[in-house]
């Protein structure tokens, strides 16, 4: 493989690394922060299932991003991923919550503007509608799920220690599901823009399993996410755990499961086929924000108890970050492409 190819891929891998460092905390933050699950256990489970989710089920959301804008050159993809990563970095530095999904979509739209490609408005609206639906859906799932768990636990009358042991086990299982869903839903953010210009070729293992170029790209991106989890997520997990200390481990489990269901629903091609087969309307396969799904579930549980329990100004700043991210990423990408094309003489479309 040409060295320049690897250099161009670095921006996507960096985005993958930061996604692993930040979003693993949405899945295992409370469990690790409250010492219910060891960090080593969380990191291993999370990495394995992120990779499985990305390689097995990462295709659906990637196709949606491809329909929004098929970036045809490696240099263009590099800039889009770098613009998204830079926006994530800037917003994080300013203390604004940020979503990689929104950053990459903004960057793709920025590339469309620069290259003169048409942005599919219907596709864009579908993505935006999904972003709005994501936290709401997570909240709507969290409330009845919490009520159900509460009812079952009240009936079961488990000893506190037994409940603790079961909860630990359940947190690891939910974390595995969450990591799989994260890999399936968010791998498009990391390497999705490189798919049309993928430098890999298909190969077959023992004439049984064919690993196509996209899957190899997904594997590479997922490994970057795994490295992000192992190298940097512990600190984020401990912070998240302390921030949400008021939440019981059972409530934390409900949040993780709700988040994972939402990410899974918006990534599952299998579910899409089942719904289509039954003549039902399908759910769009769109990369959504893991953080926003978690926030939606937490707000849902907070409102279920009492609406005063929700810090509305904080929620306002979260929504502000959500609105600003795609615009910022689009602008950064546009200028990045301009620089790469005119200063470094690269073909960006």
In degrees, to the nearest 5, what angle opens at C-alpha 159 toward C-alphas 156 and 160? Answer: 115
The angle at the Cα of 289, spanning 132 to 54, to the nearest 5 degrees, equals 130
Using CA atoms, how far apart are residues 236 and 255, in angstroms rounded to an integer? 17
Of 202, 181, 150, whose CA–CA distance to 27 is shortest?
A: 181
Closest CA to 254 of 322, 177, 193: 177
SS3 160: helix
For residue 90, the SS3 value is helix
Helix crossing, 160-191 with 100-115: angle to 10°? Answer: 10
Residue 227 is a binding residue for other proteins (CB under 8 A): no
Pick the closest to residue 31 from 182, 175, 189, 225 (CA basis). Answer: 175
Which of the ranges 97-105, 202-210, 220-228, 242-250 carries the binding residues for other proteins, by CB under 8 A?
Answer: 242-250
Environment class of 290 (CB within 10 Å of its CB; exposed 0-12, middle 13-18, buried 19+) = buried
Among 4, 38, 239, 276, binds other proteins (CB under 8 A): 38
* φ/ψ (deg, to 5) at 2: -65, 140
160 binds other proteins (CB under 8 A): yes
Residue 210 phi, psi dihedral angles, 5° rounding: -100, 125
> How far is CA 30 from each of CA 71, 100, 241, rounded to the nearest angstrom?
38, 21, 4
Mask for 43-82, x = binds other proteins (CB under 8 A)? -x--------------------------------------
Task: Tell me: does residue 248 bind other proteins (CB under 8 A).
Answer: yes
Nearer to other proteins, 37 or 109 (CB): 37
Of 309 and 316, CB closest to other proteins? 309
Q: Per CB under 8 A, does 201 bind other proteins?
A: no
Query: Which secondary structure element, helix H or strand E, spans residue 204, and what is its range?
Result: strand 203-205
State the minimum distance, in angstroms, from the CB of residue 28 to other proteins. 13
Query: Using the rule CB under 8 A, is 159 a contact of other proteins?
Result: yes
Task: Kindly state whether residue 157 participates in binding other proteins, applying the rule CB under 8 A.
Answer: yes
**Among 40, 210, 239, 317, which residue sits at the site for other proteins (rule: CB under 8 A)?**
40
Q: Shortest distance, CB of residue 35 to other proteins, whole angstroms?
A: 4
Q: How far is the CB of 297 from other proteins (least distance, A)?
A: 16
In this chain, which of 161, 205, 208, 280 binds other proteins, going by CB under 8 A?
Answer: 161
Q: Does 172 bind other proteins (CB under 8 A)?
A: yes
Interface with other proteins, residue 249, by CB under 8 A? yes
Question: Is residue 120 a contact point for other proteins (CB under 8 A)?
Answer: no
Of the candidate residues 5, 10, 41, 63, the single one contacting other proteins (CB under 8 A): 41
The smaller minimum CB distance to other proteins, of residues 154 and 201, is found at 154
d(CA 270, CA 324) in angstroms, rounded, equals 33
Binding window for other proteins (CB under 8 A); candidates: 98-106, 243-251, 272-280, 318-326: 243-251
Q: Which residue among 6, 7, 132, 165 contacts other proteins (CB under 8 A)?
A: 165
Binding footprint of other proteins on the chain (CB under 8 A) = 34-38, 40-41, 44, 154, 157-162, 164-165, 168-169, 172, 245-249, 251
């Amino acid at each position: 493989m040409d060295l320049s190819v690897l250099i161009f891929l670095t921006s996507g891998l960096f985005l993958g690394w930061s996604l692993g460092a930040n979003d693993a905390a949405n899945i295992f933050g409370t469990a690790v922060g409250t010492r219910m699950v060891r960090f080593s256990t969380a990191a291993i489970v999370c990495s394995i299932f992120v990779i499985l989710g990305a390689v097995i089920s990462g295709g659906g959301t990637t196709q949606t991003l491809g329909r929004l804008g098929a970036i045809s050159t490696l240099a263009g993809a590099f800039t889009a991923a770098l613009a998204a990563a830079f926006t994530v970095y800037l917003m994080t530095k300013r203390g604004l919550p940020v979503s990689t999904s929104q950053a990459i979509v903004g960057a793709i739209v920025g590339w469309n503007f620069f290259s003169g490609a048409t942005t599919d408005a219907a596709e864009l609206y579908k993505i935006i509608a999904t972003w709005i639906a994501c936290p709401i859906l997570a909240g709507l799932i969290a409330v009845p799920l919490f009520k159900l768990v509460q009812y079952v636990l009240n009936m079961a009358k488990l000893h506190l220690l037994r409940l603790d042991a079961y909860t630990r086990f359940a947190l690891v299982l939910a974390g595995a599901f969450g990591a799989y869903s994260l890999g399936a839903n968010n791998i498009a953010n990391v390497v999705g823009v490189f798919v049309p210009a993928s430098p890999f070729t298909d190969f077959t293992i023992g004439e049984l399993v064919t690993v196509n170029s996209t899957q190899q790209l997904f594997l590479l991106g997922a490994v970057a996410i795994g490295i992000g989890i192992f190298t940097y997520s512990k600190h984020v997990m401990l912070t998240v755990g302390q921030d949400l200390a008021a939440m019981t481990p059972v409530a934390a489990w409900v949040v993780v499961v709700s988040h994972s269901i939402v990410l899974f629903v918006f990534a599952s091609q299998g579910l899409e086929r089942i719904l289509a087969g039954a003549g039902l309307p399908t759910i769009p396969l769109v990369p959504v924000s893991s953080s926003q799904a978690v926030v939606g579930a937490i707000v849902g549980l907070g409102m279920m108890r009492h609406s005063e329990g929700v810090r509305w100004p904080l929620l306002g700043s979260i929504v502000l970050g959500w609105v600003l991210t795609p615009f910022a990423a689009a602008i950064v990408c546009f200028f990045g492409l301009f620089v790469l094309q005119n200063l470094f003489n690269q073909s960006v479309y």
